[in-house]
Structure 1
Amino acid sequence: MQQLKIIDLFCGTGGFSHGLMSADPRFKTVFGLDVLPIAGETFSRNHKDAISIVSDIRKVRRSFVSEQIKTNQVDVIVGGPPCQGFSSLRPFRSSTEDDPRNSLFEEYASFVNYFRPKAFVLENVVGLVTYKNGNTIDAMENCFHELGYDTEWRILNAAHYGVPQKRERLIMIGVERGGKIKFPEPTHYFSGDTIGVKDRQKLISTSQFDLFTNDKIILKPAVTVMNAISDLTPIHSGEISHEYLTAPQNEFQKLMRFEDLNEVSLHQATAHSKKMLEIISHAGKNISCIPKHLISSGFSSCYSRLDADEPSVTITVNFVHPASNRCIHPYQNRALTPREGARLQSFNDSYQFAGNRSQITKQIGNAVPPLLGKAIGDALKSIL
């Protein structure tokens, strides 16, 4: 069986490439790069056969990477250059070796140019669409066109692909000139609001697909918050549990527990102060549910509960703290635990995270949901 080799840049936890590998046994991640040591350790724990380097990408020579992985034949490059990498974007110059003036995006493009993969996937925030009035994303596409690649981008919502979270991301796919580009078709539907973009053709939504054909449902209902976490033991502020409450109750929970673990990890609630517990006791859909004398400021989504019967809102790096974007448990008076956050990001319970609780929470919040990666991997199979 011929392997399809993957390089994962700005890899973080490795959730993106992990998802790709779950789409087809031919996919194999051979290299991961991230600037954070903790992220590099998490990547290594879950990609034991891959070479991992912890460094600023601007200091890593592409020829060195080729020597480490013992090939310059790579099939797929994935990654999400951080947003600050676009502030200094200029006409593409450096193609093969280091240039300390390069932006982080230019470094990503240099890897594409050096290894010449059959396809690449660039993931980023939806805000990139309107950054500098759209000139930045146009410049990125022009850069890849100059390198001999055709590109297209779409806004994908993770909830449409079995992730219990309404997380929207810009996904750009590039292929060698003349190749076909395919984006994953939704497998799940929900009726909630999304951020979206003005150009509706760039937004992949379930309105493009029939929900029913001859009385047979084609798309599944979206995975809700309680679909995702109802088998986890109820706990109070400051408590921890290592036991599951029940056996898996649905398809998603079976997927999260496919290794049939005896114990659950990271299911530990933040120890909230007495005042915070009072605030949480009033929590509802938005901050207006909180009596004014208990809080002095905050965005509309602060101190708010998740809806039990919908996918969650986008998980942030501070989801264990109630003042963050809607992260209070639907029924219990506490913020989410790291395990619940990992479930909402579609990390299975056996995925190993390095670091302390705070570091793990940030890694989870920053990650690409593996099930979104799997959906993209399914589309890449037809491209390759």
Structure 2
Amino acid sequence: MYNVLDLFCGTGGFSYGFESAALGFKTCLGVDVLPVAGKTFQANHPDALMLTGDIRRLRRIEVSEKLKLKKGQIDVILGGPPCQGFSSIRPFRSSIEDDPRNSLFEEYASFVNYFRPTVFVLENVVGLATHRSGNTVESMEACFRSLGYETEWRILNAAHYGVPQKRERLIMIGAQKGIKIRFPNPTHSSCGATIGHKDRSRLHSPMQPNLFNAKAAALEKAVSVLEAISDLPAIAAGESAVGYRDVQNGYQLSRRGRSAQVSLHSATAHTPKMLEIIRHSGKNISSIPSHLISSGFSSCYSRLDGDEPAVTITVNFVHPASNRCIHPIQDRALTPREGARLQSFDDTFFFSGNRTQVVKQIGNAVPPLLGRAIAESVATML
């Protein structure tokens, strides 16, 4: 059994993915500042301790006492410190355990320093790679080296691991000295534009030269939007439904699990003007007649391609004015359940809160299937 701490846990999608790998990972702790996220985490990790509040106010020794676990008894620490803390990263001050001036990254590092896990995994936005011309991520690695850990980071695309979404994230894995760091080999291939990085060696991709090319042709094609959601009932804007259609593929069957009814499948009640905009929608905003809109990013008021993985799901995926989130076939934005499917959440995963809160939790989450893939690599390291 491997004990796992999930910091800045949100819904707990990352650790849920680790547990679903069925490789002996046990989530012991979740920490998040949002009470509603804490309730979601607790509902899906009933045996874990959930601590809600500002992590800067938590004393590591008290956390250890509540867990009844000491230094060296934690195997893995997961987490994605919010990026607003990066600008204040300073040399790590290990002698000051509880300093309210610490950045959120420093809090993550302090947990690593206190509990001394064998492995830690830090997840964040791709923009971290170029923040302050790369100095930020270098400072983070230097911090962990000072604590006795070796680190490597890569940019992973969730679509390469069975998630029906081209969601790219920077994944940093750290390990105690002497342990070879491993990243998960892609299981699916996907084409199309991505954010990427100028240093191509940082892209952990089936198309990366000398890495996976020999095997890329044998990989499964990435799961598309319609492959992920086509068993959910067709509904119009403002409607909801609970009955499944016939299952059409393995992805749908896996996400359903033992769920007897569809939950969270309610569509936004769009205004007449928005419905007219949606009827004109295509791959980008240029499909919309100019008299219907006054401004917007190229991805606004845009329809998803049903035959490809979705673009990155945001916290506003039920509002077409904010991002590309219109259903491939139906004239409406995605429902919360469709967003959850595109994030690879099982239909049995419970989300706490009202509709707006649920949508934000889904959009902010680490896709569980990405977590599961990383867990398989971490298990080989352990």
In the other structure, the counterpart of 1:321 is 319
CA distance in 2, matches of 1:94, 1:206: 39
In the other structure, the counterpart of 1:81 is 81
- Given that 1:9 and 1:33 are in contact with CA atoms closer than 8 Å, whether structure 2 keeps it comes out as yes
In the other structure, the counterpart of 2:163 is 163
Please show how residues 195-214 of structure 1 align to structure 2 within 5 Å. 195-207=195-207, 208-210=211-213
CA distance in 2, matches of 1:137, 1:195: 17
- 1:370 CA drift (Å): 0.1
Instruction: Give the match's secondary structure for 1:358.
Output: helix
Please show how residues 23-172 of structure 1 align to structure 2 within 5 Å. 23-72=21-70, 73-94=73-94, 97-172=97-172
CA distance in 2, matches of 1:51, 1:190: 38
- 1:85 CA drift (Å): 1.0
TM-score (norm 2): 0.97
Instruction: Give the match's secondary structure for 2:340.
Output: helix
Instruction: Give the match's secondary structure for 1:91.
Output: coil
Greater shift, 319-328 or 115-124, is seen at: 319-328
Instruction: Give the match's secondary structure for 2:31.
Output: strand
Please show how residues 244-323 of structure 1 align to structure 2 within 5 Å. 244-246=244-246, 248-259=247-258, 261-323=259-321
Instruction: Give the match's secondary structure for 1:265.
Output: coil
CA distance in 2, matches of 1:27, 1:361: 27
- Given that 1:24 and 1:378 are in contact with CA atoms closer than 8 Å, whether structure 2 keeps it comes out as no
- Given that 2:94 and 2:113 are in contact with CA atoms closer than 8 Å, whether structure 1 keeps it comes out as no
CA distance in 1, matches of 2:204, 2:69: 36
Instruction: Give the match's secondary structure for 1:206.
Output: coil
Q: Report sequence identity in percent.
A: 67
In the other structure, the counterpart of 1:221 is 221
Counterpart of 1:179, as a letter, is I
- 1:193 CA drift (Å): 1.5
- 1:258 CA drift (Å): 1.6
- Given that 1:303 and 1:323 are in contact with CA atoms closer than 8 Å, whether structure 2 keeps it comes out as yes
- 1:282 CA drift (Å): 0.1
- Given that 1:95 and 1:113 are in contact with CA atoms closer than 8 Å, whether structure 2 keeps it comes out as no
Counterpart of 1:346, as a letter, is S
Greater shift, 83-92 or 355-364, is seen at: 83-92
Please show how residues 365-380 of structure 1 align to structure 2 within 5 Å. 365-380=363-378
- 1:254 CA drift (Å): 0.9
- Given that 2:305 and 2:328 are in contact with CA atoms closer than 8 Å, whether structure 1 keeps it comes out as yes
CA distance in 2, matches of 1:264, 1:71: 39
CA distance in 2, matches of 1:374, 1:204: 16
15 and 291 in structure 1: CA distance in 2 versus 1, 3 angstrom threshold: same
- Given that 2:23 and 2:379 are in contact with CA atoms closer than 8 Å, whether structure 1 keeps it comes out as no
Q: How big is each residue's C-alpha offset from its partner over 1:279-335, in whole Å with a ceiling of 9 and x where there is no partner? A: 000000000000000001100000000000000000000000111221000010000
- 1:251 CA drift (Å): 1.1
In the other structure, the counterpart of 1:358 is 356
In the other structure, the counterpart of 1:239 is 239
Greater shift, 370-379 or 320-329, is seen at: 320-329
CA distance in 1, matches of 2:94, 2:102: 8
CA distance in 2, matches of 1:262, 1:81: 36
CA distance in 2, matches of 1:225, 1:147: 43
Instruction: Give the match's secondary structure for 1:33.
Output: strand
83 and 262 in structure 1: CA distance in 2 versus 1, 3 angstrom threshold: same
CA distance in 2, matches of 1:249, 1:235: 18
Give the unaligned 5+ runs of structure 1: none
- 1:96 CA drift (Å): 6.3
- 1:263 CA drift (Å): 0.8
Q: How big is each residue's C-alpha offset from its partner over 1:163-188, in whole Å with a ceiling of 9 and x where there is no partner? A: 00000000000000121100000000
- Given that 1:92 and 1:143 are in contact with CA atoms closer than 8 Å, whether structure 2 keeps it comes out as yes
- Aligned-CA RMSD value: 1.1
CA distance in 2, matches of 1:35, 1:22: 25
Greater shift, 18-27 or 325-334, is seen at: 18-27
TM-score (norm 1): 0.97
Q: How big is each residue's C-alpha offset from its partner over 1:220-273, in whole Å with a ceiling of 9 and x where there is no partner? A: 110000000000000000000011122x211110110122x2211000000000
Counterpart of 1:110, as a letter, is S
Count of aligned positions:
377
152 and 307 in structure 1: CA distance in 2 versus 1, 3 angstrom threshold: same
Give the unaligned 5+ runs of structure 2: none
Segments of 4+ moved more than 3 angstroms: 210-213
